[in-house]
Amino acid sequence: MNKIQFSNSATHLSPEMKIFELIDAHPSLLSLFSRLEITLPFGDISAEQLCQRDGYSVELFLTLCHMHLNTSYRPAIEALSEDMLLPVVGYLRATHRYYTDYMLPHAGEHLDEILEHCDPLSQKTLKRFYSDYVAYIEQHLRDEEQIFAAIESASTGDIRALAQLEVPHNDINDRTNDIASLIIKCLPESAPTPLRCSMLSHIYALRDDLTRHHNMEVYLLRPLVDKRINNK
């Protein structure tokens, strides 16, 4: 198998790096670990040993880490292996569950706290904006789930049927910024600043994670599908 090259990322990760050192340097990777269903404790093992223990390709693991840490990172297509395709689909599915089971409900809890301090008009406006925002994200995820199912089905049949596959375009960043602008600019002073900041932190974290998710679909999933098609 070709080795993944990490030359276009400022972050240095290697198969020999200890998992504790990796998390200590980049705590945000903990969410990636949960999506891969990698469980603690890690002991003193390296990334390569962890992947051997849990049945992952270390090249794919490090690629996901780089794409999580650096949104401008692009894996070298020639170094991608076809057998990464279904594990990538599994990771993206797990990310959907992370959004629907954790991030969106927690943002909703923050919103409910804010609404307790708002007048009826502000409550109605923010509820409507957020409900529309969540509905848009959930529909986008459902569209992607159909693509994932098609990939899984075609992987055991005629993969060429996916030649016209397109990752759904989305404007989630714009919608996230609209919600953030409303919280920053329009809520009355009765809404405490700490609650606003907590809500904003969660919304921006979701936006950034959705950006990483989209990048993985465009720069990892799509090239893997193309590679599988071209090798048939």
Convert the pLDDT of each residue in 203-212 to its tens digit: 889 889 999 9
Q: pTM for the full model?
A: 0.86
What is the distance between the alpha carbons of residues 110 and 196, in angstroms, rounded to a whole number?
Answer: 8
Please state the domain extents for the chain: 19-78, 83-230
How far apart are alpha carbons 31 and 220 in whole angstroms?
19
The pLDDT of residue 189 is 76
Whether the CB-CB separation of 45 and 193 falls below 8 Å is answered with no
Q: Is the peptide bond before 41 cis (omega within 30 degrees of 0)?
A: yes
Whether residue 67 contacts residue 199, with contact meaning beta carbons closer than 8 Å, is answered with: no
Task: Kindly report the number of other CB atoms within 10 A of residue 143's CB atom.
Answer: 12
Residue 5 pLDDT: 43
CA atoms of 217 and 213, how far apart (whole Å):
6
The Cα–Cα gap between 86 and 66 comes to: 19
For the cut 90, the answer to whether the pLDDT of residue 87 exceeds it is: yes
